[in-house]
Amino acid sequence: MNTFYLQLKKSPLAIIGLSILLLWIFAALFGPSLVSYTYTEMDMHNQLVSPGEQGHLLGTDALGRDVFSRIIYGSRTILTVALLTSLLSSFAGIIIGFIAGYFGGLVDTFFLRIMDILMAIPPLVLSMVVLGILGNSTILSLTIIVSIAYTPATARVARGALLTCKNTEYVDAARIRGESNIFIMFVEILPNTIGPVIVEITARFAYSIMMIASLGFLGVGLQPPTPDWGMMVIENKSIIRSAPWTVVYPSLAIASLVIAISLFSDFLSKVMINEN
Amino acid sequence: MSNTKPLLEVKNLKMHFPIEEGILIKRQVGAIRAVDGISFTVNSGETLGIVGESGCGKSTTARAIAQLYTPTDGEVLFEGKDLVTMSSKELLKTRKNIQMIFQDPYASLDSRMTVRTIIAEPLEIYSRTGIMKMTTEEIEQRVEELMERVGLSRFYKNRYPHEFSGGQRQRIGIARALALNPKIILADEPVSALDVSIQSQILNLLSDLQKEMGLTYIFIAHDLAVIEYISTRVAVMYLGKIVEISESKALYKNPLHPYTQALLSAAPIPDPLIERKRQRIILTGDVPSPDVERYGCYFYDRCPKKMDHCKTHIPPMEQIDENHQVACWLHVDKAKWPV
């Protein structure tokens, strides 16, 4: 753990990424109690005011809702869904990838082909179609469907990580003392693949944010009036020329969060994978 | 010793690895014959050395005996019971008598576990499955006892493998193998990854442990000096076959198989006067690929003493004297040659 801090100190990009990420996490946790408006509150006399005027830090949209407050509330939903998605897809991916890789042969072929079929459809298209059919998206349905769409990718990473450890002598040593397959997979192999797995979870976190924002933009994400960054962008697309702040700030929010996580994830992959 | 029942008996053991082709439907297009029908016995308390060049199937033999691989054919009888056909429950019970020491002390210890966990894990699994009842304190005590026995301070218990040197790590591996009080230990090139000075320490430790605990070893190495030092009997392997098996001294003094002779002549002698006079038998060619089925002597291609008969007939194991067997037509009475 000490080397982790030492490495972090030497890497300014990772510090920037981590600080932005922590800032957004702070916003999601405490922001709603700090901002002066709720996400549905409409200031009817002050529609489309520019940033900084009338007490609206980032201006208001066509309905007179405070853009800053909506972004802060939006961070809550997007971080929740993205975190759940990355954890759930990694969890499912590790289990499927480990079972496929560990048993090999027909089991491996069976799972890999299913994953290939899922992978053949781009995750965005898959989620869009399923969410479109289901209608009203909720946090739950969004989480589950995006997780399923991302499971094949994580399963492949997990399988690859397992294969590098599977034929080592300490695994043979475990088998020779009669250890069960589950024990070998999750007590012997998993801790030794934790580097790639953690990197995969953080990278997946960034992808999930992009995905959720895209789905919101395409109108199949969370339904109004839930504040959703992607949806804020599309709602105000028609007035981008007259009131650019309504589009630019939510877009910046998406970009900053994704870039921050990516920077941090790059750093993690450097530290955690090279460590072994 | 000859009238007692052998502790381990290997009969016609074969380990073929299939070569497969095809993407969805796999069909077998051939096989790597890593171990191709070997038989030998190991008596209680002795050390059987297995020697041979890389790829001759030494390690595969050990792994097939330990049931890490399921043998293609043949029997592995431990105290008269066949491990290959045993149910998994029975195998678990028998397995505690057969443990293994691995070649690479860096790869064989899980780097995320402490020394305590590594040594205690065998005890814990047998307690979990109810085969051996041990309390936590008993396990703790046993771990410390084992560590001291292999020459490690018990204060190192909570350290991780990366904090130790190669020799110390191999000692941890030995302690782990000893944890279950096994009767037989399969040592798969346990010293080949170590410095020469450390090699002798580990070899001495192994022979001390043998005397003290009455252990039986199957000791695999490619270093002839190591094998000579530790073995009571030696089996020489070539291309998945045992070509000669003999009492250690007799083999070194009087090798019968042309391959054994070549192998022994390649070993340097640490006396410059004798070393200068040493005559080497240089074999031509390389070890052939083990992926074809052979109908003659496996050594035919490279044998300096080959005869026409060798090309078409696989030599049987011929008993030379009580403790010496060799698979070579030169040592079979011509009258007994099949036509």
Q: What is the pLDDT of residues A144-192, one digit of tens each?
A: 999 999 999 999 999 999 998 888 889 999 988 888 899 999 999 999 8
pLDDT at B4: 67
In tens, the pLDDT along B159-188 reads 999 999 999 999 999 999 999 999 999 999
CA-based torsion, A68, A73, A78, A79: positive or negative: positive
Residue B280 vs residue B244, higher pLDDT: B244
CA end-to-end distance (rounded Å), chain A: 13
**Residue A64 pLDDT > 60, yes or no?**
yes
Nearest Cα of chain B lies from the Cα of A113 at a distance, in angstroms, of 10
Q: What is the pLDDT of residue B24?
A: 67
In angstroms, the separation between the Cα of residue B101 and the nearest Cα of chain A is 8
Pick from A172, A177, A276: CB nearest B102: A172
Computed over every residue of chain A, the mean pLDDT equals 88
**Residue B232's pLDDT band (cuts 50, 70, 90):** very high
Beta-carbon separation of B100 and A176 below 8 A: yes
Which residue in chain B is spatially nearest to A113 when comparing CA positions? B24
Are B297 and B311 within 8 A, CB to CB?
A: yes
- The pLDDT value recorded for residue B29 is 83
Mean pLDDT of A105-126: 91
Instruction: Check CB contact under 8 Å for B108 and A172.
Output: yes
- Helix, strand counts (H, E) of chain A: 12, 0
Check whether B84 has a pLDDT greater than 60. Answer: yes
Three-state SS across B190-203?
Answer: CCCCCCHHHHHHHH
The rounded distance, in Å, linking the Cα atoms of B121 and B143 is 10
Q: What is the pLDDT of residue A97?
A: 95
**A129-134: long-range pairs with CB below 8 Å, 24+:** A131/A215, A131/A220, A131/A221, A132/A220
pLDDT at B123: 92
**Residues within 8 A of A (CB atoms), B 58-117 only:** 63, 66, 68, 91-92, 95-96, 98-100, 102-104, 107-112
What gap in Å lies between CA B313 and CA B298, rounded to an integer? 10
Q: Which residue has the higher pLDDT, A4 or B13?
A: B13
CA distance A220 to A231: 9
Supply the pLDDT for residue B1: 44
Structure confidence at residue B208 (pLDDT): 94
A149 contact partners, CB below 8 Å, separation of at least 6: A89, A118, A123, A124, A126, A127, A211
Whether residue A30 has pLDDT greater than 70: yes
- Hey, which residues 138-177 in chain B have their CB within 8 Å of chain A? 173, 176
Q: Are B118 and B109 in contact (CB under 8 A)?
A: yes
Q: Specify the pLDDT at position A1.
A: 57
Judging contacts by C-beta atoms under 8 Å, the chain A residues touching residue B122 are: 177
Q: What percent of chain B has pLDDT over 70?
A: 98
A111, pLDDT greater than 90: yes
B133 vs B324 pLDDT, higher one: B324
Report the percentage of chain A scoring pLDDT > 90: 48
Measured in angstroms, the CA of B112 and the nearest CA of chain A are apart by 7
**Selected residue of B26, B90, B112 to mutate for chain A interface (largest A Cβ count, 10 A):** B112
Cis preceding-peptide flag for A12 (omega within 30 of 0) = no
Q: Does A170 touch chain B (CB under 8 A)?
A: yes
Domains defined for chain A, CATH in brackets: 23-32+58-275 (1.10.3720.10)
Q: What whole-number distance in Å separates Cα of residue A24 and Cα of residue B150? A: 54
Q: Three-state DSSP class for A46?
A: coil
Q: How does pLDDT run across A1-17, given as a tens digit for each residue? A: 567 788 888 889 999 99
Rounded to a whole number of angstroms, the distance from the CA of A192 to the nearest CA of chain B is 7
Whether residue B315 has pLDDT greater than 50: yes
The answer to whether the CB of B159 falls within 8 A of the CB of B148 is no
Does residue A125 surpass a pLDDT of 60? yes
Please check the confidence at residue A29 and state whether its pLDDT lies above 70.
yes
Q: Which range (A61-65, A95-99, A241-245, A257-261) has the least confidence?
A: A61-65
Torsion of the alpha carbons at B116, B122, B123 and B129, rounded to the nearest 10:
140
Q: Is the pLDDT of residue A93 over 70?
A: yes
Which tokens belong to B253?
A: 């003094």
Residue B12 is predicted with a pLDDT of 93
Whether residue B75 has pLDDT greater than 90: yes
B18 and chain A in contact, CB less than 8 A: no
Interface contact A275, partner B, CB < 8 A: no
d(CA B225, CA B284): 24
| pLDDT band at residue A67 using 50, 70 and 90 as cut-offs | confident
At A65 the three-state DSSP class reads strand
Give me the pLDDT at residue A228, please.
87
Q: What is the pLDDT of residue B184?
A: 95
Residue A238 per-residue DSSP state: G
% of chain B surpassing 90 pLDDT: 58
pLDDT at A50 over 90: no
Q: Which chain A residues are Cβ-neighbours of B95 within 8 angstroms? A: 176-178
Question: What was the pLDDT predicted at A275?
Answer: 57
* For residue B36, pLDDT beyond 70: yes
Written as six digits, the tokens of B162 are 């990366």
A194 has pLDDT over 50:
yes
Q: Looking at A26-40, A208-222, B74-88, B108-122, which range is the least confident one?
A: A26-40
Per-position b or e across B242-259, b if 16+ CB within 10 A of its CB: bbbbbbbebbbeebbbbb
Confidence of residue B288 (pLDDT cuts 50, 70, 90): confident
- Residues linked to residue B216 through DSSP beta bridges, in sequence order: B184
HEC readout, chain B: CCCCCCCEEEEEEEEEEEEEECCCCCEEEEEEEEEEEEEEEECCCCEEEEECCCCCCHHHHHHHHCCCCCCCEEEEEECCEECCCCCHHHHHHHHCCEEEECCCCCCCCCCCCCHHHHHHHHHHHHHHCCCCCCCHHHHHHHHHHHHHHCCCCHHHCCCCHHHCCHHHHHHHHHHHHHCCCCCEEEEECCCCCCCHHHHHHHHHHHHHHHHHHCCEEEEEECCHHHHHHHCCEEEEEECCEEEEEEEHHHHHHCCCCHHHHHHHHCCCCCCHHHHHHCCCCCCCCCCCCCCCCCCCCCCHHHCCCCCHHHHHCCCCCEEEECCEEECCHHHCCHHHCCC
Angle between helices A194-217 and A139-166 (to 10 degrees): 150
> For B318-339, what is the mean pLDDT?
87
